[in-house]
Structure 1
Amino acid sequence: RPVDFIHRGLSKMLYSVSNDDNDFFVYFSLFNPRVISLNNNYNIMFNISNSQLDEIEVDNEGRIIENCFIRYFDPKLQDDDKESKRSDLNKMFMDLVKNKKIKKISVNLQYEKDNEYFCFYSKVVPPQTDHFFVLDFADDKVNIDRDQDMTTQMALYMGDCNY
């Protein structure tokens, strides 16, 4: 797939770096998107894996994850098609807001063990092993907040309840 630029970032990275002097390691990350819903009227909270609910179809789930990371890291390799990706992401998110009543997407990228291979960064994100960010939808646009604290954000989702 990388040859035909479907995965443009990977393709550009592989083509721009000499193969003679470098080894390439390809890691696959597993993601567990969850649906968190709080209904204060009935004192009910759901925190269920999307794979069980299928609230967001699996194809869209993958595109959302990919686009969230592109928006978060804002990689230079994606600059030439950034606007098309951004409009695709905005449309996808606005459909989620309208049809699924999803208000925010929070992403926590973290590995079980710290390792130098998993220290990710970009021109807008400093090097770190854990990344947490929130995308929300206001005024018909997608906003990204790279400075959110995961513990605080989860407390807001859970309605400040102590479970």
Structure 2
Amino acid sequence: MIDQVEVDDEGRIIEKCLIKYFGAESQKINKKNEEAELKNSLLSLVEKYKINTITMHMEMEQPSEIYRFFSKQVPPADVHRFVIKLVNNVVELCPLAPQEGMAFE
């Protein structure tokens, strides 16, 4: 993100984004709380820093068929990319194709 966002806050936001993206079974118990925390964090980012979209790019440094990130909701892949944003006060997740949405490439 940017240097002004506290490291602890940034870590929590990244964690909540990954929980929403993967939709792990183990997180279903606390899903409403996780989503509320993510929404509040996004509202805070908009208010304090004018950040209204977070693009996540997660990639294995050394691709391997043995170790890949996945869940029941997300198929195994070496690269995961998605956007998290607030739309009409609702947290929206938009998966991206492996080469889509990365302006710095």
Q: Please report the TM-score for the alignment, with normalisation by the length of structure 2.
A: 0.88
Q: Larger C-alpha radius of gyration, 1 or 2?
A: 1
Partner of 1:25: none
- CA drift at 1:68: 0.7
RMSD: 1.8
Aligned partners of 2:79 and 2:98 also within 8 Å: no
Query: The residue matched to 1:108 in structure 2 has which SS?
Result: strand
Task: Mark the runs of 5 or more structure 1 residues left unpaired by the alignment.
Answer: 1-33, 35-49
Residue correspondences, number: 105
Partner of 2:31: 82
Query: The residue matched to 2:101 in structure 1 has which SS?
Result: helix
Instruction: Read off the aligned partner of 1:105 and give its amino acid letter.
Output: I
Query: The residue matched to 2:60 in structure 1 has which SS?
Result: coil
Partner of 1:63: 12
Hey, what's the Cα distance between the residues in 2 that align with 1:90 and 1:111? 28
CA shift digits 1:50-75 (9 cap, x unpaired): 3xxx2211010110111110000000
Hey, what's the Cα distance between the residues in 2 that align with 1:150 and 1:105? 16
Partner of 1:154: 102
Hey, what's the Cα distance between the residues in 1 that align with 2:90 and 2:23? 17
The percent of aligned pairs where both chains have the same amino acid is 34
Hey, what's the Cα distance between the residues in 2 that align with 1:154 and 1:73? 20
Partner of 2:54: 105
Aligned partners of 2:80 and 2:98 also within 8 Å: no
Instruction: Read off the aligned partner of 1:101 and give its amino acid letter.
Output: K
Runs of 4+ in 1 over 2 A off after TM superposition: 149-152
